[in-house]
Amino acid sequence: MPITYNNFSLDSASIMPSTIGHNQAPTKNIGLVKILRRDGSKLTYTDYSNKIINIDGYLTLGGQEDFEQVADDFKNKILSPEVANLDISYANGTRRYNATAKNVAITRDTYNIDWAPYSIEFLVNDPPFGQDIVTTRAKSESNLMISTLSSSIYLEGSAEPKPTIQIDITSGSYLTDVEFKNTTTFTRVQMSNSMFETGDVLTVDCDNLAVEKNYNPIDYVGTFPKFQTGWNGYDLNFYKSASVPGGTIQDILQEVNVDEDIIYDKYFIAQSFKPTTTNPIPKIDILLRKVGLPQNLIVEIQSDNSNKPSNSIIVNGTVTITPSQISDTNSWITANFNSVNLQSGSLYHIVLKTPTTPLAQGHGYWIRRSNNDQYTNGNQLRTTDSGSIWELRPVDSTFKTYYLSSGSISYKTNYSVDYIKRYL
């Protein structure tokens, strides 16, 4: 059975352990309060005392000088560290104890010629348990669009688990509080901030008693959630600011504009995008200008077919804008829809076109765009044959999307629950 202390082997050709006393549990302390004139008492708390591990074995020796050298080196290796990892092979893994050696005894009687017994007493106090040497991921979910979530996790070991909970805010606005509640033990922590932002990373470290935003301490209310071995139910809740506006809220903004492309006749332009909310889309803004005497501009929202427009228009997803509504200088033009319902995180296409019989050659619309890939969840596409063949381009049109809010907001998040298994 391999054993090391501070990477010093206690199981070798010259150090042979015979007894390893680490299977006994630490003493459980029980707090009781006597109630006046009542039988018995009330339990107020339980916790665990320090754990003692005794390891006994034999040192193999040569002559007197060899014994002294081996004994001195052995005691130095064991007693020098204040606290070190005591790693003991166990089943198919390793149990690790944060241990301090209290005492080392080497006994050499007159009959001990080439060997001598030894004993070591280790104190294990922080924590008074054995632990795995690897971290276990109990739960991990990505790209969730939620305002509240209920789920459960199964935690192994025989001592109370102390997980670390990490929550990544990947999109959302007006978020002021995030709550993690263990619904099995009825304990909760609520992280508070004037306003959380997209990209913030929130951490609840139940072992080191730390609550952080982007790895810096933040305010919280409640207490650190307690977990039990076995199944634990939990809720993850996001709370919005009381000042969340109703009505229309901007969702996507791509405002870089350094070049332009024409829309007329069989020349269509499309822009793919992914909504970050399931709330209805009331409008889209496009930066463009008209040239000459063009026909009406048609704006459609189409579903996706292999990263290209499908030619299938989403319900309520078409708007016609007359030339009189569009300036001959670059201006934001609004396409007002009758509340288009889209799926959060799914790919759609804004398609801009005119009737394929132009009034005059070259009379149409010039839409502004970037000259590189600015918007990571979509691209501009172009066709010169009314949509039979689409060219995917490494640029983005200049556009904005919006969604309707009644004051209720969902937040896009990734989260994980990690822990180190602990053993009595």
| Complete DSSP assignment for 310-353 | EEEEEEEEEEEE-GGGS-SS-EEEEEEEEEE---TT--EEEEEE
Q: What is the DSSP letter of 73?
A: H
Written as six digits, the tokens of 293 are 């005497």
120 bridge partner residues = 55, 104
Q: Which residues have CB under 8 Å from 109's CB, separation 6+?
A: none
What's the CATH fold of domain 3-131?
Elongation Factor Tu (Ef-tu); domain 3 (2.40.30)
Between vectors from CA 45 to CA 43 and to CA 47, what angle results, nearest 5°? 135
Give the pTM.
Answer: 0.61
Question: CA-CA distance, 234 to 35, in Å (whole number)?
Answer: 35
User: Is 247-405 the same fold as 136-244+411-423?
Assistant: yes
What's the CATH fold of domain 247-405?
Jelly Rolls (2.60.120)
Q: What is the pLDDT of residues 335-383, one digit of tens each?
A: 999 889 999 999 999 999 998 776 677 789 999 999 999 999 999 999 9
Q: What are phi and psi of 354, to 5 degrees?
A: -125, 165
Q: Tell me which CATH code domain 136-244+411-423 carries.
A: 2.60.120
pLDDT tens, residue order, the chain (424 aa): 689 999 999 988 888 899 998 888 898 999 989 888 888 888 888 899 999 999 999 888 766 667 778 888 889 999 988 999 999 998 878 999 999 999 999 887 767 667 889 999 999 999 999 999 999 999 999 888 777 888 999 999 999 999 999 999 888 767 888 999 999 999 999 998 767 888 899 999 999 999 999 999 999 999 899 999 999 999 998 877 655 555 678 899 999 999 999 999 999 999 999 998 888 899 999 999 999 989 999 999 999 999 999 999 999 999 999 999 999 999 999 999 988 999 999 999 999 999 877 667 778 999 999 999 999 999 999 999 999 999 999 999 999 999 887 555 667 889 999 999 999 9
CB atoms within 10 A of CB 91: 6
- Domain regions of the chain by residue span: 3-131, 136-244+411-423, 247-405
